[in-house]
Amino acid sequence: MSNTSETRSTTVHSVDRAISILQVLARRGAVGVTPISEELGVHKSTIFRLLATLEARGLVEQNSSRGQYQLGYGVIQLAAGATRKHDISVTSRPISMALADEVGETVNIVINDGAETITIDQVIGSAEVTSVNWVGQRSPLHTTASGKVFLATMRPEERRHILDRGLERYTEETVVDPEQLEEQLAEIRELGYAYSVDEHEIGLAGVAAPIRSIGGGVIAAVVVSGPSFRITAENAAELAEHVLAAAASISERNGFPKAE
């Protein structure tokens, strides 16, 4: 009986460590065994053993040229399963498809996770030049239209906690001054939508609006994204009308009352 309990405890401990490894790779990208060992405080031989198991199941893969490990395609399968179960991705899909057809641009459904956004669903528009597949990818809140929607609508103390930690610059257009960003967020609250261009990647622009739950809280954002030569300051407001309408429809499907 004692041996069985010890075996179960060891197994649970190994599972916990394996999950921690996946979280490190998700956050840091390709990384070697030594940095993982140092971050988790686990001996390198144990990390090697767990990585071998994860690699055998397709959850991690090794970059042979650099001896580093990164998340494998097995994680994408798991993420796809989670996406199918996610109510927002299910309820938003027909509306996202209609929006992509209307505007001809790529439509993303994005959720907030701490100081980052995660894209959980995407519909590619009809335009010849489109943005890349963002499903599963993370972006800092302060660099994207969807992220600014979340920042603008979260509690002030929660927002200050994120801004006070420092804002990383990704391009020359990235807003890294907290006070300047606060001014933008106030305007977003007034307009009801966010527009960003060249702030996360040069040449990429987006317009986003909040998706609300039955209680009115912002649970996701719908984003139209594309090249900055097509989504511009001149047509952002017109594009926002379509995005706002789509966000309202998705929110209504989630139980949020329809505006009179």
Mean pLDDT of each 10-residue bin along the chain, 260 residues long: 54 83 85 90 91 89 78 74 63 92 92 90 73 77 95 94 90 92 95 94 94 90 93 92 95 76
Per-residue confidence (pLDDT) for residue 91, from 0 to 100: 84
Task: Please indicate, yes or no, whether residues 17 and 90 belong to a single structural domain of this protein.
Answer: no
Q: Over the stretch 88-104, which tens digit does the pLDDT of each residue have?
A: 888 899 999 999 999 99
Per-residue confidence (pLDDT) for residue 62, from 0 to 100: 85
Q: Could you tell me if residue 259 is inside a domain?
A: no
Task: Please indicate, yes or no, whether residues 90 and 214 belong to a single structural domain of this protein.
Answer: yes
Domain end among 66, 82, 98:
82
Q: Which CATH number covers residue 19?
A: 1.10.10.10
Per-residue confidence (pLDDT) for residue 7, from 0 to 100: 52
Q: What is the pTM of this model?
A: 0.67
Task: Please indicate, yes or no, whether residues 195 and 223 belong to a single structural domain of this protein.
Answer: yes
Task: Please indicate, yes or no, whether residues 214 and 236 belong to a single structural domain of this protein.
Answer: yes
Per-residue confidence (pLDDT) for residue 85, from 0 to 100: 47
Domain end among 32, 62, 82:
82
Q: Over the stretch 218-244, which tens digit does the pLDDT of each residue have?
A: 999 999 999 989 999 999 999 999 999
Instruction: Return the axis-axis angle of helices 33-40 and 44-56, rounded to nearest 10°.
Output: 110
Distance CA 173, CA 3 (A): 60
Q: Which CATH number covers residue 169?
A: 3.30.450.40
Domain total of the chain: 2
Task: Please indicate, yes or no, whether residues 76 and 97 belong to a single structural domain of this protein.
Answer: no
Per-residue confidence (pLDDT) for residue 72, from 0 to 100: 84
Handedness of CA 21, 25, 27, 28 (dihedral sign): positive
Task: Please indicate, yes or no, whether residues 144 and 211 belong to a single structural domain of this protein.
Answer: yes
Task: Please indicate, yes or no, whether residues 74 and 93 belong to a single structural domain of this protein.
Answer: no
Task: Please indicate, yes or no, whether residues 37 and 102 belong to a single structural domain of this protein.
Answer: no
Q: Could you tell me if residue 5 is inside a domain?
A: no
User: What strand order describes the sheet that includes 218-227?
Assistant: 138-140, 116-123, 106-113, 218-227, 204-212, 194-197
Per-residue confidence (pLDDT) for residue 24, from 0 to 100: 87
Half-sphere exposure of 7 (CA within 13 A, CB side): 4
Task: Please indicate, yes or no, whether residues 136 and 250 belong to a single structural domain of this protein.
Answer: yes
Task: Please indicate, yes or no, whether residues 153 and 246 belong to a single structural domain of this protein.
Answer: yes
Per-residue confidence (pLDDT) for residue 260, from 0 to 100: 52
Domain range spanning residue 53? 13-82
Residue 9's φ and ψ, nearest 5 degrees, are -65, -40
Per-residue confidence (pLDDT) for residue 31, from 0 to 100: 87
Q: Could you tell me if residue 6 is inside a domain?
A: no
Token look-up 């938003």 returns 92
Q: Could you tell me if residue 7 is inside a domain?
A: no
Helix or strand run (H / E) with residue 195: strand 194-197
Per-residue confidence (pLDDT) for residue 25, from 0 to 100: 87
